[in-house]
Amino acid sequence: MRNDEDMARERQEMVAELELYGIRDARVLDAFRTVRRHLFVEEESRPLAYSDSAMPIGLGQTISQPYTVAYMTSLLVERRPSGKVLEIGTGSGYQAAILDALGYEVFTIERIAGLYEMAGRVLDALELPVQRRLGDGTLGWPEEAPFDGIIVTAAAPHAPRTLMSQLADGGVLVVPLGDLASQQMTVIRRRGEEFEREIFHSFAFVPLCGREGWENNNE
């Protein structure tokens, strides 16, 4: 049976692995040292909570691989290190907790009620001030816009226009864009009414459903 000390040691090893894979931002690495990933995975997955892998969290969804979370978070932090951030796809709540540890004001939307509730229980138990909503995240959170950053943690067929319109001037949208098999991590930065794009490595995410996501997954 692992105790807190074992988990802390495994967490340090995970961070060392992230550094080895090229995650350099000290703020991001510190957040990964702080947030206890084992609290965000299912009981039976806990022994592997600090391995660099995605894991099932129930209802057909996954908690992303730590490297992927660190990669997306670095793209955001390097361009917009503070302010309001909206996450689409709460899932386990882990990415939201990482954003909170970085000092962002965090908003997150999940479309599956069971996950929305599960993540809510963990975030509440940790007393993290993350604001949560159940619904279609492709429509954003208009009452709280504009956002300094928006992170989409599911695969999108194209950049959701509504999310782009909810960016602050200079704000960044980090979103994996592509087909259902593979997506390229994309950063879209707002400059007034113009949007600049940068394209990065390939990843494989579960689909972003909803009005501005994959049509065949609409509810």
Catalytic positions are: 64
Binders of ligand SAM among residues 84 to 143 (CB under 6 A) are: 88-89, 91-92, 94-95, 109-112, 115, 136-138
- Comparing CB distances to ligand SAM, the nearer of 88 and 187 is 88
- Comparing CB distances to ligand SAM, the nearer of 152 and 187 is 152
Binders of ligand SAM among residues 64 to 93 (CB under 6 A) are: 64, 88-89, 91-92
Question: Residue 29 Cβ, how far from ligand SAM at the closest point, in Å?
Answer: 17
Non-local (6+) Cβ contacts of 23 within 8 A are 29, 67, 70, 71, 74
Q: Which of 15, 35, 61, 84 binds ligand SAM (CB under 6 A)?
A: 61
Question: Residue 115 Cβ, how far from ligand SAM at the closest point, in Å?
Answer: 5
Question: Residue 83 Cβ, how far from ligand SAM at the closest point, in Å?
Answer: 19
- Comparing CB distances to ligand SAM, the nearer of 62 and 170 is 62
Question: Residue 214 Cβ, how far from ligand SAM at the closest point, in Å?
Answer: 8
- Comparing CB distances to ligand SAM, the nearer of 165 and 193 is 165
**How many other β-carbons are positioned within 10 Å of the β-carbon of residue 66?**
25
Q: Where along the sequence are the contacts to ligand SAM (CB under 6 A)?
A: 61-64, 88-89, 91-92, 94-95, 109-112, 115, 136-138, 153-154, 205-206, 208-210, 213
